[in-house]
Amino acid sequence: MAAKKTIQRQGFKTGEYIVYPAHGVGQIVDVEQQEVAGFALEMFVIEFAKDKMKLRVPVPKIESVGMRKLADDETAQRSLKTVQGRARIKRTMWSRRAQEYDAKINSGDLIQIAEVVRDLFRSDTQPEQSYSERQLYEAALERMARELAVIKKVSETEAVNLIEANLAKGPRRGPKPEEQEESSEAAA
């Protein structure tokens, strides 16, 4: 079988990995012509292997849908630093926060996704998460891991381990041992 020649449009080329905000990391496998409503349109064919899904995006719509190239190494490192930070959880209703987290995940922005991972992470010493919190956390972790795996050329499992190692470097989650002692002494 003859090797397909690389086709380039708007700075994107076939064979390249990209980030599509609503679906995460995919690979451009082809650029094809399609007739839509009597107009000939060039379409990027993007494959999301993990989801067993192909998406066709009109070349002129690339910017408006927010498709972007993978983050550079510097941004990948910043995302790992972000998960090490202190969780910033607003004191608003969960439904409102859940919408904000979902919007951040679907923004396709690696740093915003890292913020969701950081904010929803629970260590073993912390109380259980609700089902919806867990779902959002896992979605954000998976999105972040997929992109880091391709950037760092490692498996997704290795990328998850890298993220979790950085989460462990963050400030202690939950009350510090001294605070527990002080509160028990105050109660006595």
CATH number of the domain encompassing residue 32: 2.40.10.170
Pair (64, 82) in one structural domain: no
Residue 2 in any domain: the answer is no
Residues 118 and 45 occupy one common structural domain: no
* Domains of the chain: total: 2
Pick from 158, 138, 165, 129: which is nearest to 24 by CA?
A: 138
Question: Of 69, 101, 121, which closes a domain?
Answer: 69
Assigned domain for 48 exists: yes
Cα distances (angstroms) measured from residue 145 to each of 33, 39, 69:
33, 39, 16
Give the up-direction half-sphere exposure of residue 21: CA atoms within 13 A in the CB hemisphere: 15
Tell me, yes or no, whether 186 lies in a domain.
no
Residues 24 and 100 in one domain: no
Give me the pLDDT at residue 45, please: 93
| Separation between Cα atoms, residue 144 and residue 151, nearest integer Å | 11
Nearest to 50 by CA among 136, 183, 133, 142: 142
Does residue 161 form part of some domain?
yes
Residues 45 and 19 occupy one common structural domain: yes
CATH code, domain with 88: 1.20.58.1290
Residue 4 included in any domain: no
20 and 89 inside one domain: no
pLDDT for 163: 95
Which domain covers residue 20, as residue numbers? 9-69
- pLDDT for 188 equals 41
Are 98 and 150 contained in the same domain? yes
pTM of the model: 0.81
The pLDDT assigned to 183 comes to 39
Listed as ranges, residues in the chain with pLDDT below 50 are 1-3, 174-188
83 plus 164 within the same structural domain = yes
Torsion angle of the four alpha carbons 162, 163, 167, 169, in this order, in degrees rounded to the nearest 10: 30
> Are both 140 and 84 inside the same structural domain?
yes
User: What is the arrangement of strands in the sheet containing 53-58, beginning at the earlier edge strand?
Assistant: 53-58, 39-48, 24-36, 17-20, 68-69
Please say which residue of 21, 48, 69 terminates a domain.
69
> Which tokens sit at 121?
């992470």
Do 58 and 86 lie in one domain? The reply is: no
